[in-house]
């Protein structure tokens, strides 16, 4: 699907800007960074483990800024979770 020229013009070219275009929200349904099944990404487990480590290090080293309002995150789940709006996070170094 990610190489379908009707969805992604020039699919074999590295063009990260394609996700910044005005119609980029229309492409979210086609975003499968790891794929599924027998042809899924061999590095998926490593990537997810690295993300957990990075997030845990951020949580350990930083705290939410005082007065920050927490709210429920709105998004859609495809193969991966895609947030529908921005999540403002303000951090300060933990004490």
Q: Spell out where 1-95 has E strands.
A: 62-64, 75-77, 81-83, 91-93
The answer to whether 11 and 2 are in contact (CB under 8 A) is yes
Nearest C-alpha neighbor of 91 from the set 62, 66, 69: 62
Residue 88, φ and ψ in degrees, nearest 5: -75, 125
Asked whether the CA dihedral 52, 58, 61, 66 is positive or negative, the reply is: negative
**Is 41 assigned to a binding site?**
yes
List, as residue ranges, the binding site: 41
List, as residue ranges, the binding site for heme: 41
């Amino acid at each position: 699907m990610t190489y379908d020229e009707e969805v992604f013009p020039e699919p074999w070219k590295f063009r990260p800007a394609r996700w910044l275009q005005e119609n980029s929200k229309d492409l979210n349904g086609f975003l499968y960074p790891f794929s599924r099944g027998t042809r899924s990404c061999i590095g998926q487990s490593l990537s997810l483990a690295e993300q957990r480590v990075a997030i845990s290090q951020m949580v350990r080293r930083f705290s939410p800024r005082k007065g920050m309002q927490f709210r429920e995150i709105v998004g859609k789940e495809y193969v991966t979770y895609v947030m529908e709006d921005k999540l403002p996070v303000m951090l300060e170094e933990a004490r």
